[in-house]
């Protein structure tokens, strides 16, 4: 999983990414985002996607883009979790959508995220960090 996120982060304009699951998250976020301090923001984007899916089961959400003054957050539901990427505002939207779809497909084809106990990319969300 960490390798897939690192691959996504090599996309021009991507500042960091995370896969947010129900109980734990895998993240690869750089210093420009504040490292793992940005994880609660990724969790809020994931919760917005989950809320959409729950309130509109007949209209599946393929992806969501949240635009701010200092960048964008892209979120794409994958299985029980949500793939989240942080990007610069001037990053190519088309390229980001394609790369997010490719990474999501790889996660899905692998049967979802798997993480070993010794994986340094695993961060368990503490209740205080949840929105």
What is d(CA 100, CA 106) in angstroms, rounded to the nearest whole number? 10
User: Which residue from 29, 17, 22 is spatially nearest to 83, judged by alpha carbons?
Assistant: 17
Residue predicted with more confidence, 110 or 104: 104
User: Which pTM value belongs to this model?
Assistant: 0.75
Cα Rg, the chain, nearest whole Å: 14
Sign of CA dihedral 114, 48, 9, 110: positive
pLDDT tens profile 29-47: 666 666 666 777 788 888 8
User: Which residue from 29, 4, 7, 51 is spatially nearest to 123, judged by alpha carbons?
Assistant: 29
pLDDT tens profile 51-72: 877 787 787 777 888 888 888 8
- Read off the pLDDT band of 25 (50, 70, 90): low
Are 60 and 83 spatial neighbours (Cβ–Cβ below 8 Å)?
no
- Read off the pLDDT band of 99 (50, 70, 90): very high
Q: Which domains does the chain have, with CATH numbers?
A: 2-112 (3.30.450.30)
């Amino acid at each position: 999983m960490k390798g897939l996120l690192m691959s996504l982060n090599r996309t021009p304009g991507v500042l960091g990414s995370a896969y947010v699951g129900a109980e734990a998250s895998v993240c690869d976020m750089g210093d420009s985002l504040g490292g793992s301090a940005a994880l609660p923001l990724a969790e809020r984007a994931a919760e917005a996607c989950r809320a959409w899916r729950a309130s509109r089961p007949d209209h599946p959400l393929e992806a969501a883009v949240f635009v701010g003054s200092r960048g964008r957050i892209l979120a794409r539901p994958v299985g029980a979790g949500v793939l989240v990427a942080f990007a610069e505002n001037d990053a190519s939207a088309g390229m980001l959508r394609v790369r997010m779809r490719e990474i999501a497909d790889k996660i899905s084809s692998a049967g979802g995220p798997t993480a070993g106990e010794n994986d340094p990319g695993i961060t368990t969300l503490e209740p205080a960090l949840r929105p």
